[in-house]
Amino acid sequence: MAETLRYVGEIMPFLLQGTLIMIELFVLTLLFSLPLGLPVTLGSTCRFKVVRFICKCFIWIFRGTPLLLQLFFFFYMLPIISDGAISLGPFPTAVIVFVLNYAAYFAEIYRGGMNSIDSGQYEAAHSLGLNKHQTMMGIIVPQTFRVVLPPVTNEAIVLIKDTALVSCIGVGDLMRNSKGFVSRDVNLTAYIIAAAIYLIFTYMMTRLSAYLEKRVSEYDSKGEW
């Protein structure tokens, strides 16, 4: 027992360091992908064919290919294709790929939420003399927030687990650091600790999701939307 505690004490600083990188990637991904998804979904329904085509292709590519393959492409293939003109480090590459990937998913979630809004809302806005932009930003988008909250928080929970993929391009996250200790010491303790950390964070996000949905339901029941 004492030997196990000593070993845990030895590897914990490195696992916590990897955890901080995981959290940083998680926060940066949500910080940029959540707002980016909105113009993408608006562009996918835009009346301009070129904008609509570009946004739909963006969504199709990033939702239709594995996230791991996207990481490999941006980290290994892009420098080759660009003849070395574009070459990013592991962590910046991970942030860019995760932001683009999750923006595509959030865009589809937003689109589904907007499509769920009753058509009478558009007609009422038109009768009030509001243009399309005013209708979307002043009426449709605020109501969409209530509808998309559950799937958005579910994607955030998936994101926590997806961060483990960045270990494949050399990012020193929790997964990579724990794998290093398992390979070096032939001891699964690091994996067990890593699993516990992932479970803690997914539990925290699940509780936060439940809290936000409850708050939104309370506002909805009061008719404050």
Q: Does the pLDDT at position 155 exceed 80?
A: yes
Lowest mean pLDDT, pick from 6-15, 54-63, 143-152, 182-191: 143-152
Give me the pLDDT at residue 212, please. Answer: 86
Q: How confident is the model at residue 93 (pLDDT cuts 50, 70, 90)?
A: very high
Q: What average pLDDT does range 128-133 have in this prediction?
A: 73
Give the tens place of pLDDT for each residue, 157-195.
999 999 999 999 999 999 999 999 999 999 999 999 999
When pLDDT is averaged across residues 63-70 and rounded to a whole number, the result is 97
Domain count, the chain: 1
What number is the average pLDDT over the span 121-149?
A: 74
The band of 2, judged by pLDDT with boundaries at 50, 70 and 90, is confident
Over pLDDT 70: what percentage of the chain?
Answer: 95
What CA–CA distances, in Å, run from 212 to 152, 159, 183, 195, 219? 11, 18, 41, 26, 11
| pLDDT tens digits along 16-39 | 999 999 999 999 999 999 999 999
Per the structure, the complete domain to which residue 81 belongs is given by: 2-221
pLDDT of residue 52: 95
Query: What pLDDT sits at residue 223?
Result: 52
pLDDT of residue 217: 73
pLDDT of 201 over the 80 cut: yes
The pLDDT value recorded for residue 215 is 81
Residue with tokens 């997964």: 175
CATH of the domain at 33: 1.10.3720.10
Cα 36 from Cα 106, distance rounded (Å): 8
Tokens matching residue 150: 């559950």
pLDDT class for 116, splitting at 50, 70, 90? confident
Average pLDDT (128-134) is: 73
What's the pTM value of the predicted model, to 2 decimals?
A: 0.90
Name the pLDDT band for 61 (thresholds 50, 70, 90).
very high
Tokens standing for 187? Answer: 């001891």
pLDDT at 199 over 90: yes
